Amino acid sequence: MLDIAVLGAGRIGRIHAGNIAAHAGVRLVGVAETDASAAAQLAALHGTRTLDVADAMRADAVLIASPTPTHADYIEQAAAAGRAVFCEKPIDLSAARVRTCLATAQRAGIVLMVGFNRRFDPHFAAVKQRLDAGEIGALELLTIINRDPSPPPLSYVANSGGLFRDMMIHDLDMARFLLDEEPVEVTAAASCLVDPAIGAAGDVDTALVTLRTASGRLCQISNSRRATYGYDQRIEAHGAGGLLRAGNVFPTTVDIANASGFRSDPVLPFFLERYAAAYRAELDAFVKAARGEAPARPNGEDGLRALLLADAAVEAARSGRTVQPAEA
Ligand SMILES: NC(=O)c1ccc[n+]([C@@H]2O[C@H](COP(=O)([O-])OP(=O)(O)OC[C@H]3O[C@@H](n4cnc5c(N)ncnc54)[C@H](O)[C@@H]3O)[C@@H](O)[C@H]2O)c1
């Protein structure tokens, strides 16, 4: 039995806690939270206890789902205790801090997995498998579309690290995963078109990034904090021998047809629904890694490399120049 403690009982902590509770061979030993009532509610839901952080660090493994600024410290505490760690993305908003944290984790020799859940989405994972199987030959152009249904609350925007490091970081990881080659150039354009308050808070809500790898493969990422038809999550990989495409996922396959044409359901509303299967599969991968049955991927280095690409995108958008990402 693998005991896992969850740190943070917010939107994503609740999902992970539910998946841990439902996973065979794994026990949710408790929930550590600064908000006592959120902790008590989640613990009660799964028949487990509330913990302080020191108790949580005594579990076999910890799942860090607290706000981003807490991640690196918690990873280091878990490293000192020799615990396996699953940490939500991003590890930190500062690449320098990520590097010191990863060095500590590496010295301690702990398992560290980072929550780039989209690698585990069955549709995107199938694109990866079929690319690797050579079904479209050499990959040449990759298009990743990621649009939220509506902007997050301004309080979230203010502490998120901005669209590139908070939202696009998923797409930058997906680009690395599918391109199978590190991007060496980043070009970006960004605007505030959805909500002027986001601009006033110093962030953008609409962005395009182009990545180029050393062999010349190109990837374009399209992000918006608005999509009127639901959570828009699509990928298209174009290669020498054809195209692989993963479209949006709908609650049902039922269409209605009438004099106005055909109409399907709106796409699944947001990440909790769209990536429910991915969150279960990534937990399963973490459990295997924590038991020493498989390497942890995506790992700390994947977390750092995605952040370095986000940093390059921020600089590219600011300067209007093509930027080379820093070495990992
Ligand atoms: N992979 C994904 O799909 C995904 C989706 C959402 C969020 N995230 C990431 O997960 C993290 C949490 O995001 P969220 O949307 O769940 O936030 P949230 O604000 O909904 O929840 C965070 C919770 O952590 C608690 N908390 C605050 N400080 C704490 C501390 N020191 N120790 C323990 N708990 C603490 C808060 O009280 C809150 O309940 C962020 O890093 C975010 O980037 C990832």
CATH number at residue 141: 3.30.360.10
Closest Cα to atom 20 of ligand 1: 10
Q: Is position 31 within any domain?
A: yes
Q: Is position 328 within any domain?
A: no
Q: What does DSSP assign to residue 321?
A: S
Q: Is position 75 within any domain?
A: yes
State residue 283's pLDDT score: 98
Q: Are residues 145 and 252 in the same domain?
A: yes
**CA dihedral angle for residue 30, residue 19, residue 23, residue 233, rounded to 10 degrees:** -150
State residue 205's pLDDT score: 98
Please, is 293 exposed, middle or buried when counting C-beta atoms within 10 Å of its C-beta (0-12, 13-18, 19+)? exposed
Q: How far is the CA of 8 from the centre of ligand 1 (A)?
A: 6
Q: Are residues 79 and 135 in the same domain?
A: no
Q: Is the CB of 32 under 6 A from ligand 1?
A: yes
Q: Are residues 249 and 126 in the same domain?
A: yes
Q: Are residues 159 and 304 in the same domain?
A: yes
Q: Are residues 276 and 157 in the same domain?
A: yes
Positive or negative CA dihedral for 102, 87, 168, 92? Answer: negative
State residue 185's pLDDT score: 98
Q: Is position 325 within any domain?
A: no
Q: Are residues 144 and 242 in the same domain?
A: yes
Q: Is the pLDDT of residue 252 over 90?
A: yes
Q: In what order do the strands lie in the sheet with 2-7?
A: 49-51, 26-32, 2-7, 61-64, 84-87, 112-114
**φ, ψ (nearest 5 deg) of residue 132:** -65, -30
Q: How far is the CA of 32 from the centre of ligand 1 (A)?
A: 12
Q: How far apart are CA 88 and CA 114, in angstroms?
A: 6
Domain count for the chain:
2
Instruction: Taking residues 271-294, report their average pLDDT.
Output: 98
Q: Is the CB of 8 under 6 A from ligand 1?
A: yes
Please, is 79 exposed, middle or buried when counting C-beta atoms within 10 Å of its C-beta (0-12, 13-18, 19+)? buried
Instruction: Taking residues 204-233, report their average pLDDT.
Output: 98
**Beta strand pairing status for 26-32 and 61-64?**
unpaired
CATH number at residue 90: 3.40.50.720
Q: Is the pLDDT of residue 159 over 90?
A: no
Q: Are residues 134 and 27 in the same domain?
A: no
Q: Are residues 101 and 130 in the same domain?
A: no
In this predicted model, which residue has the larger pLDDT, 111 or 155?
111
What is the distance, to the nearest Å, from the Cα of residue 151 to the centroid of all Cα atoms in its chain? 17
Instruction: State the DSSP H helix or E strand holding residue 246, giving kind and residue range, or none if neither.
Output: strand 242-246
- Give CA separation, 52 vs 32, 35, 36, 60, 320, in Å: 5, 11, 10, 15, 47
Q: How far is the CA of 70 from the centre of ligand 1 (A)?
A: 9
Instruction: Taking residues 217-222, report their average pLDDT.
Output: 98
Q: Is the pLDDT of residue 195 over 90?
A: yes
State residue 160's pLDDT score: 87
Q: Are residues 198 and 61 in the same domain?
A: no
Domain that holds residue 90: 2-110
36-66 tens-digit pLDDT: 999 999 999 999 999 999 999 999 999 999 9
State residue 131's pLDDT score: 98
CA nearest to 232, candidates 279, 263, 264, 274:
274
Q: Are residues 127 and 261 in the same domain?
A: yes
Q: Is position 289 within any domain?
A: no
Instruction: Taking residues 234-253, report their average pLDDT.
Output: 97
Q: Could you tell me which residues come within 8 angstroms of residue 163 by beta carbon, excluding any fewer than 6 positions away?
A: 190, 203, 204, 205, 207, 223, 225
Q: How far apart are CA 12 and CA 26, in angstroms?
A: 19
283-316 tens-digit pLDDT: 999 999 999 999 999 999 999 999 999 999 999 9
Closest Cα to atom 15 of ligand 1: 11
State residue 303's pLDDT score: 98
Provide the percentage of residues in the chain whose pLDDT is more than 90. 98
State residue 218's pLDDT score: 98
Is pTM beyond 0.95? Reply is: yes
Q: Of 110, 136, 166, which residue is a domain's last? A: 110
Instruction: Taking residues 73-86, report their average pLDDT.
Output: 98
How high does pLDDT run on average in the chain? 97
Q: Is the pLDDT of residue 72 over 90?
A: yes
State residue 158's pLDDT score: 85
Instruction: State the DSSP H helix or E strand holding residue 165, giving kind and residue range, or none if neither.
Output: helix 162-166
In testing the pocket of ligand 1, which one of 6, 15, 16, 34 has its CB within 8 Å of the most ligand atoms?
34
